[in-house]
Structure formats: structure tokens, C-alpha cells
Structure 1
Amino acid sequence: MKIATIDLGEKPLFLAPMEDVTDPSFRFMCKRYGADMVYTEFIPSDGLIRDASKALAKLNIFDYERPVGIQLYGHEIEPMVEAARMAEAAGPDLIDINFGCPVRKIAGRGAGSGMMRDVPKMVEMTRRIVGAVKLPVTVKTRLGWDDDSKNIVEIAERLQDVGIAALTIHGRTRAQMYRGEADWTLIGEVKRNPRMTIPVIGNGDIGSPQQAAGAFDRYGVDGVMIGRATYGRPWIFTEIRHYLTTGRLMPQPSVRERVELAKLHLDKSLEFKGEKGGVLEMRRHLSCYFKGLPDFKATRLKLVTLFDPDEIRATLDYVAETWGDFDASEIVPQPLSHNV
């Protein structure tokens, strides 16, 4: 599969852009364990234009994570065009437009999936951004605003016609938020549409190698994007690739192996964000590595409240010593927030 000239190989696996999750340290972990394409957290166009420090910091990308996309969102065309130019200057491999975030403060202002209520504006914004940058432009969106307006087949054609290089579809409407099961039927319909020539990437409820294989086989998508299932499980990309290649499941990492992964993740978080920011960012991830361990509540509380990195490392060593012989297949990672 190719996005413009970016060759991602056969059946590529994508890390979904997720607010407050896909920072450089988490992207490092997922890339290390087989993600073929990663994205920044989504960045507000208004924040970039105002030179807001938080928005600007999200432009930081690194050679180890290539190919990498910068994802933008906004509700006005001119600021989005200007933000796209700023994002291009940061040196990513592509620019991705977020037309999928269902959160009220985003969609309620007409950004994210809110743009699905104004398809002409969505198409015009996309056309302007494609014309303003030299990099490939891609889009991530949903099936429609609600059950009465599942218009993704039409939207996909119109976005392709204005020049996007690939389309990612989350299998829910905005009204569903993250409730219920993702419906891949329309994703498959978009892919089967003879008018569609760009890659179609499916997203939603992929939490196992079998589900990823089924998405490729049943719906014919060019790629699969994974969001919440990566929490506490960045190796899921390796699991899926192994299953796609061999048809067999890999054993789950042991508790001791997970401790070492958590330490590496912590080290990278500290490297990229300093001690205070690095520790605070890691709190959303640490206990996810060990979800399912018995009698873990007190230790989990320590992991998410400690400030000193050495104390966190010591607590992780305690986890290895105490639960080192626990059956790792019983550890079930739990999502912390939502895929946008």
C-alpha cells in the first residue's frame, strides 16, 4: 500500500492519533513494536496560529518514527490552511485532517466530526489545504453525523476528487461517540466503490490479531488503524503482524517483560518532556501495562501518584518481584481515553 509515494508495505498497521496519548514517547514504543505509520496528537489550528506553546510542542517529530503524520483540526478554512503550512514546515511525511473527533467541545464548534454537518465546507477546506501544501494530505472521519446521515460513501468520493491521498474511516457516527460496536459495513462499501482509487484505512474496535485479520479479509481495507487497544499493549502491532504472517498467536509478554517495557517508556517520556512533564504523562500509561494483576490496587495507586522517577522504577521492580510468576495471558489492558 502506498500513500502518494510513501510505501507502507502490504497490510500496514497504523497507530491512531489520540489526544494526550500519542506523544513522542508512546509513538516510540509503538514504532519499536511494529506500527507502520504513526501520527501526532491532534493539533488545533487556532493554537498553532496563536503560537500557543502546547500546540507548537505537538509539532515535534523525530526521524525514528517515520513515516509520521501531523494531524490538524479546526472549524475555519483560512486558519486550517495556515496551520497546514506551519505543520508542513515541521517536516512530517504527510498532513492529516481530523474530521472524526466526536467530543462536544470540538464537534459542537463545527470542527472534527462536526464538519460532517457541512459537507461542502469540509470539501472546500480539504481542497484548500491540498492546494496549499506539497505533502500528501489525508483525512480521518466517521460514517456520518448520525444514523439518518451515514453519507461516508458520498463524502469519500468528494474528498478523493479534491486530492486527498488516503482516507481513514472510523466505523461509528458522531452521535454514537464510542458507544456500541463499530460498524465496518460502510467502510467495506467505500473500499468496494469502483470510483475509489486511493487507499482506505479502517478503524474501530480492533483489539486482537484475529479482528485485524478479519478486517482485511472481510472488508478489503488497505490498512488497519488501532487506537485504544494499544494502551498498555504497544506490542499489539507485533502480535498482529505475526498472526497475519503465520496464522498463529504469539504468547503475551511476561510481567517481568512488561516491567522492562514500562521502564523504557518512562525513560523516553522523561527524555522528551523532562522530569515533571514526563512523569505526569506516564501516569496514564503505567498501570495499563499490568491491568488484570490480582491484589494490585495499592500498587496501581502508587504508580499513578508518585512523582520521583527513581521511586517509580523501584515500584516497577516490586511489581516484577511480586507478580513475576503470574500468568501473563490473564492480564487484560484497559483503555484510558478515546481514539479521536
Structure 2
Amino acid sequence: KMTQQMRDLQLAQARKPPGPSSPNAAKRLYRNLSGKFRVNYTSFDEGSLAGRGEKEKLRKSYLFQSNAALFEAVELQDLDRVQELLKQYSPEELDLNTPNSEGLLPLDIAIMTNNTPIARALLQAGAKESPHFVSLESRSLHLSTLVREAEQRVNELTAQVVNEAPNADCSEKEKQLKAWEWRYRLYKRMKAGFEHARVPDAPTNVRLSVASSSSVQVTFWEPLSVNSAVVTKYKVEWSCSPTFSPPLGEAVIDKLKNLHFTIRGLVSGTAYYVQVSAYNMKGWGPPQASVPPFAIPSNWREYDGRAPRRRGQAEALDHLLGQVKTVHQHCVCHEPCKNQPQSRKHSVSKSLKHLFHPSSKFLKTLKR
């Protein structure tokens, strides 16, 4: 028996899985296993950042293509395409006010080619003129430089196409030559449009009205002339003198969706004269005085000079209320006042008893 038990014990020990012989061995085993199954978070973060970078590059490339498409549509005078792009993208996505490599904006090309419909569409979308054109001389010089450089590039490409033998490079240069010839014609047309343009006429239908006791509102229409360049902004001036000397203030309106402006912070009862002028790439046009020539900020109750009928009544009511409060503060209730409800109750009960007295007429009537 003893021998059989020893054999069974040895077999049981042999069937057990081998374990770590010491705590240190167990720690080493855990460390090795955790190292094998550990996730590489660093590589995961780098991969996600790389993915974001690729998405950002794609987005910028997509927006650059939309901006280039807008420039191309304006240069080709394709109004439908311009309206489609303005509807599909926001001004920020189109980089509407970011100059291209030639220092031009889409609005510059539209107004210098005198394309009024496209220019108005761009203005309503929030387009601005290029900040590089600080004066008429700078604009003229910039256009002359563009024309000269385009002409020089056309001459160079023409010479290369004529002198080289027909091959793949030659066909590519022919495409470049056609593109530069078209751009040369565009710049010449822009320069001619600028040279033949003139300052705008005065705005029309300038109307002035009182908005409140401290503000007036002016509304106006575009100039009637069709020969001048596109108007890109308006200026509203106001003064207490009909000669506008000295002027009290002015405001430039470059958002042309609604042609109106409210002048605030005025003194009630003072007459203010208002005039409006228009601006295009040639400069400011003559001002147009409003109709009526001046307005006096005031309340309609004060317009005829009569005092309101209810003036002072609120103060009188407050005074009477104060007097009533003062009188009631000194009022002291006496004993008869407190006993009055009890005496009234007693008198009522006494009168009821009198009805049923044997000698009362009411009781005699009931007996009958």
C-alpha cells in the first residue's frame, strides 16, 4: 500500500504544470509577457497625427483649387460659375480677399475689366479691393508692370517655339505661350479699363429722416451713370453747418447689400446736415446733399413745441401718496375701534331676538 501511494503522489506531481520556482522568477515571467502584449501607443499617436496632417494638406489643396477656380471664372467673365462658387463656398474657404501671385484680387479683375454683374456679386459676398493699390499712381504702375512682364514672357516663349524642333517640350511650350498670350490680353484690357474710367457720379435719391431723439437715418441709391467704373463703397458725412465746415463725422460703407446708414449719438433738438458720396478705383465722386437738407433728432411729442398733457402728473401722484403714508404713520387705533365689530354683532343678535318677542308684530303675523 505504501508503495502504491508514493507512486500516485509522484504521478500527480508530474501532471502539475511547471510554475515559477521563486517570486523573482514570477516577476520576470510577468514582465516578459506584458512586454509581448504591450500596445505601442507612440506609433499609434504618430499615425493619427500623420493622418491629420494628410487631411489638412488635402483640405488646403482643395481650397486652393476652389480659389484658382474663382480667379479663372472671373478672368473668363463666367458669371454663372462665379455665382455657383460663391454659393458653394464661404468667403474664408475661397480666400476671397487673399491676393494671388500678381497681387490682384478677384474684385480687382472684375472692376478693372468693368464687369459690373460679377463685381456686384463679389461685393455682396464681402469681397474687398487689393490693399496694394493705395493710390492711383500705384495702381497704374502695377498694371504697367504686369503688362510689360507678360509681353516679355510672350516674346520669350514665341522665340523658343519658333527656334526649336517639334517635340514634346515644344508642344508644352506652345501651351504656355497660349496661356501667356491670353494673360497679356487680359492685363492690357485691365489697364485700358483703368485708364478710361472716371470718378463716379453722386448717389441718387438721398433721403434723410429722424430715427429717434438721438439719431437720424439716411438712405440712398446708386449713381445713375453707366460709363464710370463699379462703385465699391460710399461715404456718409454729417455736420451742423450746411457747408460741412467743420464736419462732425463720417462713415464709410463697404457692405453694399443695403444702402442705408443710421447716425447715432446726436444731440436732440440740433439740426444736422448730411451728404453722401460714392467711390470707385478712380477715387471719390462729388457728394450729394440729402432731402430734406437737414434733420433734427427729436421725440414726436416734442416736435410741435407743446408740453405733453401728462407732464408732472406722475410727480403729483407720488407727492399725494407720500402725504397719505405720512398721515397713516401717526394714526393710533383706540379701544372703541377695536370693540366696534363686537357691538355690531351684539346689536344684530339683539334685533333677531326682538323679532320673536311675544308682543312683536312679526310673531303675531306668523300665528295668524
Give the structure-1-normalised TM-score.
0.21
Query: Which structure has the larger Rg?
Result: 2
Identify the structure with bigger relative contact order (alpha carbons < 8 Å, sequence gap 6+): 1
